[in-house]
Each structure stands twice: as structure tokens, then as C-alpha cells.
Structure 1
Amino acid sequence: MGAQISSVMTPNPVCVPQDASVSATAAIMRDNDIGSVIIMNDGRVSGIVTDRDLVVRGLAEGFNPQEAPVGAVASPSAICLAPDSSTADAVRQMRESSVRRLPVCDSAGHPVGIVSLGDLAEELDPESALADISAATPNI
């Protein structure tokens, strides 16, 4: 069954409202040294946006980063895991949904963490190249 997600997730995920600007979201990512944030709508998870989404779906498509809402470039993924889900559950859900990150939400649907493919690699295959890269100190 594997470890519980609560033991491998990154707690206290950064969240932004879906109407936050692409530019403001990019600044939050920079300031927090992270590559993704959870998008919220009316207190509920409505998606995830990554640094790649900001570039490929935002800038490359001609969105004005000061005006475009981040929700317009986010990956719509309202799939949340419970903290007591197993790592096997996370792997299965990532495969089925073709995503690399999943929010972890409490029973009321509030985000309490985020789990990434790299987190799972460190837990399940610590000798892999992905685990080594994920565990390395960022080079910024």
C-alpha cells in the first residue's frame, strides 16, 4: 500500500485566487521558490498552475501578464487526495489524470499539502535520477 501522502507531501501549500494576475502569481512563485501553486475559487480547489503553464499557456499565447487571470492558464485539476491516501493512490491518480502534482485536502476540501512526482520518486524509488534531482538543493 505504501506510505501515507501526509508523510511525503509538502505541507502548507501556496494558494492564489483564480482571478489573481499571471504576473502576481509568478512573483509569488519566485518569492516562495516554488514551481506551482494551487488555484482557488470560492474557497475550493479549482486547479493548479505551474511555472511552465505561465509560459506556455500565458506568455506564449499572448496574454498580458498584468491583466490575465491565472485561472485562464491553470491546469483544471480539482482532483484532491486525502492526507491518509497512500502513495500508490497518488501514483495511480497521477497516471490516470496525466498530472505531476496533486493537492492534498482535508475532509472539508481545504488544501493542506501538495504532492509531486518528485516527492513520490524520493519515497518509492530513492535511487532514481528523478529522486536525486528532486532531493537536490535548488540552484537559484
Structure 2
Amino acid sequence: MTQHGMAQKVNEVMTPVPVTVSPDTPLARVGELMREHGIGDVLVVHEGRLRGLVTDRDIVVRGVALRRDMASTAVADVCSTNVITVPVGEDADTAVRLMSEHAVRRLPVVDGDRPIGMVSIGDLAVQRDERSTLADISAEPPNT
């Protein structure tokens, strides 16, 4: 299912240079970065390699709810280490499929194990025609 004869690649729709932190970054700092950049997830990177992903929900569920100290708790203690990623050369269709399979709204784009961007369901929806599955999902009224 190519459009205009060429399937769109992930690197054409991703946001380059995602916000990253090292595993020992305190949760308080991660929260500040989320606020500054208006994002809900941050990549955890050690020596250039992707080690995990932390979401605002991770911080609440595994940090705040357990009454951890935000200044002394490292992001490594609450982040997910089982991260679904998409290789930079992949078609956007693959990213869409991964998102629906794993019920995630964003995927780190990797070159080997080095994160070079993030692609979101919004990035992909904008790039596709209105008849696509993604547009149908986005257009559906929310479940009550």
C-alpha cells in the first residue's frame, strides 16, 4: 500500500533529537524536562544507547504513589526497560502497526541501539490520507 509510488519512511515524519536523560537523573529533573518541552515521555540513554523510556505515568505510579523522594530517586528505578522501537529506515506503515500492536502512541526511532528521534501517532496521522485506518481511529468519538 504505497502512496505516490513511494512508502514514507519513519525518518521523514519523526521529531529529530528526542529529549534524553541518563539513568541516574533524579525524577524531579525528568519532571522539569517534561514541563519545559511539553512532553509526556523521555528516553533514558546511557553512553548513547537506549536503555529505557519513562512516562509521566511511570513517575506517578512508580514514584509519587510509592512516596519516593523525587530529588533522590533515579529515573532508572521507575522507567520501562522493555521499549518498543522502530528502526530509522522502516516504512511509516510499520510504525503504525507497532503502535496498534503494542497500544502505544509514540515510538523511539533508533539507528542500531542509538535513539535519533521520536515518532508519534499524530506525526503519522498527519502524513496519511483521510481514508487510512489511523484517521478512522483518531476520528472516532471517545468511548463513554
TM-score of the superposition, structure 2-length normalised? Answer: 0.76
Contact 1:94-1:101 within 8 A present in 2 as well: yes
1:30 lines up with 2:35 in the alignment: yes
Taking only aligned residues, the RMSD between alpha carbons, in angstroms, comes to 2.3
Among the aligned pairs, what percent are the same residue? 40
1:138 paired residue number: none
1:137 paired residue number: none
Q: Computing the radius of gyration over CA atoms, which structure comes out larger, 1 or 2?
A: 2
1:113 paired residue number: 117
Distance 2:129 2:35 in 1: 29
- CA shift for structure 1 position 122: 2.4
Distance 1:24 1:5 in 2: 29
* Cα distance change on mapping 1:125 and 1:70 into 2, 3 Å: farther
1:47 paired residue number: 52
Paired amino acid for 2:115 = P
* Cα distance change on mapping 1:88 and 1:56 into 2, 3 Å: same
Contact 1:10-1:114 within 8 A present in 2 as well: yes
Paired amino acid for 2:108 = P
Distance 1:51 1:104 in 2: 20
Q: Which runs of 5+ in 2 are unaligned?
A: 140-144
- Within the candidate set 103, 111, 123, 2:108 is matched to 103
Contact 1:121-1:128 within 8 A present in 2 as well: no
1:70 lines up with 2:75 in the alignment: yes
* Cα distance change on mapping 1:124 and 1:74 into 2, 3 Å: farther
Q: Give the SS at the match of 2:86.
A: coil
* Cα distance change on mapping 1:75 and 1:124 into 2, 3 Å: farther
- CA shift for structure 1 position 128: 5.7
Distance 1:49 1:60 in 2: 15
Q: Which runs of 5+ in 1 are unaligned?
A: 132-140
Paired amino acid for 2:59 = L
**How many pairs does the alignment contain?**
130
95-104 or 45-54: bigger deviation: 95-104
